[in-house]
Amino acid sequence: MILINLLPHREEKRKRRKAAFFVGLGMSFAVGLLASAFIYLLLQQLTAAQAERNDYLKAEITKLDAQIKDIATLRAEIEALRARQRAVENLQSDRNTPVHLLNELAKFTPEGVFLQSVRQANKAVVVTGVAASNERVSEILRNLSRAEWVENPELVEIKVAPVNPRDPRRLFDFSLKVGIKSVTPEPAPGAASAPAKKS
């Protein structure tokens, strides 16, 4: 026996397809919504983690800035202490300079030369005196060129001294200039470099 379906089957298929379309559309929308929510939450978590790392880095940078300021302050203090140390060393070395200078002048002044004054300005010393002849002045210049504590002796002026009626000898007033040598000390252990100082 043959069964014939006389119901409107096309409309039923259309309804089923329509329902299936809407179900698929709803499911796609739900899946899309869930995916969007998951991506949003993931981005929020990554943003929060990055913000936390940024805050940590800012805190560490602030600490490092404070340490850098402390280091700069310590360097300034170290430089001030080194400057004081150099000043004390220079004072220590300079206190013996006049003794050495006078000793050299006494040692290298020949007979017939009389020193009248010794004036020091920085590292230059001007010596004035009276000599019995020009040769005596030349001799003191030659002698001072071999001295250990003075350098670069040069004649500034020489002239005939005013005639004294009681003393018939002919004398010469002279003025010469010498430099004081700087003696470099041996560097202290652990010091990067020591300044040159005079003894």
Span 40-68, pLDDT tens digits: 999 999 999 999 999 999 999 999 999 99
Top-confidence residue, 51 or 91: 51
Q: How many CB atoms lie within 10 A of CB 143?
A: 17
Rounded Cα–Cα distance for residues 143 and 178 (Å): 12
Rounded Cα–Cα distance for residues 104 and 150 (Å): 8
CA torsion sign, 60 to 63 to 65 to 70?
Answer: negative
The model's pTM? 0.45
Could you tell me if 155 and 176 are in contact, meaning their C-beta atoms sit under 8 angstroms apart? Answer: yes
Rounded Cα–Cα distance for residues 19 and 4 (Å): 26
Span 107-162, pLDDT tens digits: 888 888 888 888 887 778 888 898 888 888 888 888 888 887 778 888 888 888 77
**Residue range 9-17: average pLDDT?**
81
Domain ranges of the chain: 16-95, 112-180
Residue-averaged pLDDT of the chain: 81
Residue 93: CB partners within 8 Å, gap ≥ 6? 183, 185, 197, 198, 199
**Residue range 93-97: average pLDDT?**
70
